[in-house]
Amino acid sequence: MKKILFYSLLSLLFSQEVNAQKKKPLYKAPFAVQTYTYRNVMPKDVPGTLDLIKSLGVTEIEGGGAKGVTLEEFKKMCDDRGIKIPSTGIGYEQLRTPEETVKRAKILGSTYVMCAWIPHKGDNFTIEEAKKAVEDFNYAGKIFKENGITFCYHDHGYEFRPYEDGTLMDYIIKNTNPEYVSFEMDVLWTIHGGGDPVALMKKYGNRWKLMHVKDLKKGITGDFSGHTPAENDVVLGTGQADWVNIFKEANKIGIKHFFIEDESNNELVNVPKSIEYLKNLKE
């Protein structure tokens, strides 16, 4: 009887090991970070911060240069460390002069340009402001496309206010031209605004081209403000996001660039832990 139990246990352990080995890594993209993560250290030491980023195994960043150095100098620093800049950010006002942004993007070697905020008063984002954004996105996005650049709007949570049979985010996606306007999903802000990352990817497919990989602290109930205290940004896998299903769907729709963004003030500790989490994430 003891022998039977022993061999049964051995068989079970072997089966579990085989199943574990069969599981495939879910994170398949290059490791990447949004340089806003290092806003506390980058201005003080640009080359040192890039050395730190490189030491983490990161080979892509989303950023727009750095204080105290020219775009050309920043690009060379990144090149010297094997770091690419596939995406760069702009402010909403820069959509009015897209040709200048095209020049900047080409210096950095960026093929994506993202905008992360639509101006509005207080916490009350309105349909009028959404309509104006649609107009501006379509205008600038056309010029970007003509220059080989994909424009992405980065959601921030306030767009999930109800509107008609959906939300203002639905309105923006449905009324922008897919030829000119794509989207970058920020997972924390999507959840904070009441959106469902997986459902949104299923609904709009490859309109989503980029992702900010960021987790919202458990127990936090969001709102439509687009703001939350820094301490609510936590290490990946310790918050509310369902990363297994998020990455399954993201891989399915073809997202290629996932930028870790940590808006806490503990980024030097958090980012390495988040990278380790992604390395061990399996189907």
Which residue matches tokens 């579990």? 16
pLDDT score recorded for residue 10: 46
Q: Are 66 and 74 in contact (CB under 8 A)?
A: yes
3-state secondary structure of 82: coil
Instruction: Read off the pLDDT of each residue in 182-186 and give the average, rounded to a whole number.
Output: 99
Q: Which two tokens stand for residue 115?
A: 């905008």
Per-residue pLDDT reduced to its tens digit, 97-151: 999 999 999 999 999 999 999 999 988 999 999 999 999 999 999 999 999 999 9
Distance from C-alpha of 75 to C-alpha of 11, rounded to nearest angstrom: 55
* pLDDT greater at residue 15 or residue 64: 64
In terms of C-beta density within 10 A (0-12 exposed, 13-18 middle, 19 or more buried), how is residue 48 classed?
exposed
Q: How far is 28 from 247, CA to CA, in rounded Å?
A: 9
- Residue 4: the pLDDT is 52
Say yes or no to pLDDT of 11 above 70.
no
With a threshold of 0.85, does the pTM exceed it?
A: yes
Q: For 262, phi and psi rounded to 5 degrees?
A: -120, 110
Q: What is the torsion angle, in degrees rounded to the nearest 10, for the CA atoms of residue 57, residue 62, residue 68 and residue 73? A: 70
Question: At CA 277, angle to CA 54 and CA 66, rounded to 5?
Answer: 30
Q: Nearest-CA neighbor of 34 among 267, 250, 282, 241?
A: 267
Residue 226: name the closest of 182, 274, 186, 174 by CA.
Answer: 186
pLDDT at 20 over 80: no
CB-CB neighbours of 67 under 10 Å: 10
For tokens 């892509």, the residue is 60
In angstroms, the Cα distances linking 224 to 114, 193, 253 are 21, 5, 27
The number of beta carbons lying within 10 Å of the beta carbon of residue 50 is: 22
- The rounded distance, in Å, linking the Cα atoms of 130 and 118 is 8
Residue 16 has pLDDT above 60, yes or no: no
Indicate whether 21 pLDDT > 70: no
Torsion sign (Cα): 68, 72, 78, 80:
negative
